[in-house]
């Protein structure tokens, strides 16, 4: 009897300890709300929800047909849905809002979230133009509330290790960067009708492939250059498939010049023979090539490359990043999701559009 009583007390104490850890938030899953569902990257978040890595407390989406389809696929209860962001935030109090709506609508989500001091993460890029980007930045500063931008390539171990190697003794200053991003085309790879309706619209998306994939290279190059603004941008855009994409470019080449002589070449296209997110960085005597998220190769002469192990303490996805950022973890300056970086990204993209339209080099 005495032994049973001692065991009971032991389990009672253990239960109290576990309860304390749970209530203190050590094992808390983030509560997030969703602004829009017509960006196909929403499937990443919905899979994380299904895996119980994140808790969705509300979804603002007016398209009932889209709602029904995604409800069926991910078992989303009716109680989660609201017609608009403001109405949703009157009812729920998330740790953060994640925006999966057209790029031109990011500023509207910021207007709803930031005065309530709710952190915001938008899908890349931050905004369709400088005016909207600066409005978001002013809201963030005025309300002391962060805004982050989510790129797939932010969570690539190859890019993270590449950046650390740039500071190794012997690599030297960056001379040239080449980023290739894109795929066969959004319609060709089977993007949803809801996504295509604004992705191929020059107002809602800001451009075509130039916005959709040019932002990756601009984001990475701004990061590799430690937040330095370029001095000039030159771009050429083409419509190789006007019968499919009559209103926007489907191929863009952007040259970004820096004051120290470094050059970035961004090749963004909906005309690649396969999906590609590839980054090359050249120093005076060596180069680094992030072939994909898991593969990094170092060259000191061609064709003899040496594969570098992709290991390190970096965030694996946007959820682990938000968990750390919202818990107060100190983040590096000009990190890939930062507002500072992404204001420059929008500036590069806007200059690229102007350059392609006017056929001239644009000085910043």
Where in the chain are the domains?
Answer: 9-150, 153-315+333-363
How far, in Å, CA of 244 to CA of 239, rounded? 9
Over the Cα atoms of the chain, what is R_g?
Answer: 23
Identify the three-state secondary structure at position 260: coil
Pick the closest to residue 206 from 357, 313, 57, 97 (CA basis): 357
Would you say 59 and 101 are in contact if contact means Cβ atoms under 8 Å apart? Answer: no
Strand blocks (E) in 188-285: 232-238, 251-257, 263-269, 276-282
DSSP state of 331: P
CATH number of the 153-315+333-363 domain: 3.30.360.10
Q: Structure pTM?
A: 0.91
How far, in Å, CA of 274 to CA of 214, rounded? 17
Looking at residue 311, what is its pLDDT?
Answer: 87
Residue with tokens 């002589």: 261
Tokens encoding 107 = 């500023």
CB atoms within 10 A of CB 243: 6
9-150 belongs to which CATH class?
alpha beta
How far, in Å, CA of 63 to CA of 222, rounded? 36
How far, in Å, CA of 293 to CA of 49, rounded? 23
22-56: b or e for each residue (b if 16 or more CB lie within 10 Å)? eeeeeeeebebbbbbbbbbebebbbebbeeeebeb
Cis check for the bond before 201: say yes or no (omega within 30 of 0).
no
CA distances from 264 to 75, 217, 254, 260, 283 (A): 44, 8, 8, 12, 13
Would you say 356 and 253 are in contact if contact means Cβ atoms under 8 Å apart? Answer: no
Would you say 282 and 262 are in contact if contact means Cβ atoms under 8 Å apart? Answer: no
Looking at residue 27, what is its pLDDT?
Answer: 63
pLDDT tens readout for residues 93-118 = 999 999 999 999 999 999 999 999 99
Cα torsion 40, 120, 146, 321: sign: negative
Looking at residue 17, what is its pLDDT?
Answer: 34
Looking at residue 167, what is its pLDDT?
Answer: 86
Cis check for the bond before 125: say yes or no (omega within 30 of 0).
yes
Looking at residue 210, what is its pLDDT?
Answer: 98
Looking at residue 318, what is its pLDDT?
Answer: 97
Strand order in the sheet with 120-123: 81-82, 55-60, 31-35, 96-99, 120-123, 147-150
Looking at residue 132, what is its pLDDT?
Answer: 98
Low-confidence ranges of the chain (pLDDT < 50): 1-26
């Amino acid at each position: 009897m005495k032994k049973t009583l001692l065991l009971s007390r032991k389990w009672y104490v253990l239960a109290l300890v576990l309860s304390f850890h749970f209530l203190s938030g050590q094992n808390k899953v983030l509560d997030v709300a969703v602004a829009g569902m017509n960006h196909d990257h929403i499937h990443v978040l919905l899979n994380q929800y299904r895996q119980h890595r994140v808790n969705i407390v509300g979804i603002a989406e007016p398209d009932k047909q889209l709602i029904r389809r995604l409800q069926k696929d991910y078992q989303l209860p009716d109680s989660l849905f609201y017609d608009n962001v403001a109405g949703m935030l009157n009812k729920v109090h998330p740790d953060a809002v994640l925006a999966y709506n057209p790029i031109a609508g990011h500023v509207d989500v910021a207007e709803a979230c930031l005065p309530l001091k709710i952190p915001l993460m938008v899908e890349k890029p931050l905004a369709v133009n400088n005016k909207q980007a600066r409005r978001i930045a002013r809201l963030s500063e005025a309300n002391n509330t962060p805004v982050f931008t989510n790129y797939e390539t932010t969570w690539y171990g190859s890019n993270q290790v590449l950046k650390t190697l740039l500071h190794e003794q012997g690599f030297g200053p960056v001379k040239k960067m080449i980023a290739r991003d894109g795929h066969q085309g959004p319609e060709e790879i089977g993007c949803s009708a809801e996504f295509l309706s604004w992705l191929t619209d020059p107002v809602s998306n800001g451009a075509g492939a130039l916005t959709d994939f040019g932002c990756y290279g601009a984001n990475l190059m701004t990061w590799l250059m430690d937040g330095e603004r370029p001095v000039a941008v030159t771009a050429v855009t083409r419509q190789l498939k006007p019968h499919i994409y009559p209103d926007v470019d489907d191929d863009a080449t952007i040259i970004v010049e820096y004051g120290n002589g470094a050059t970035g070449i961004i090749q963004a296209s909906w005309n690649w023979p396969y999906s590609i997110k590839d980054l090359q960085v050249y120093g005076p005597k060596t180069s680094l090539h992030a072939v994909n998220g898991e593969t990094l190769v170092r060259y000191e002469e061609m064709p003899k490359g040496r594969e570098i192990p992709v290991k390190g303490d970096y965030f694996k996805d946007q959820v682990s990043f938000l968990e750390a950022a919202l818990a107060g973890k100190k983040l590096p300056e000009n990190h890939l999701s930062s507002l500072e970086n992404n204001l420059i990204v929008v500036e590069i993209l806007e200059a690229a559009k102007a350059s392609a339209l006017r056929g001239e080099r644009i000085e910043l």
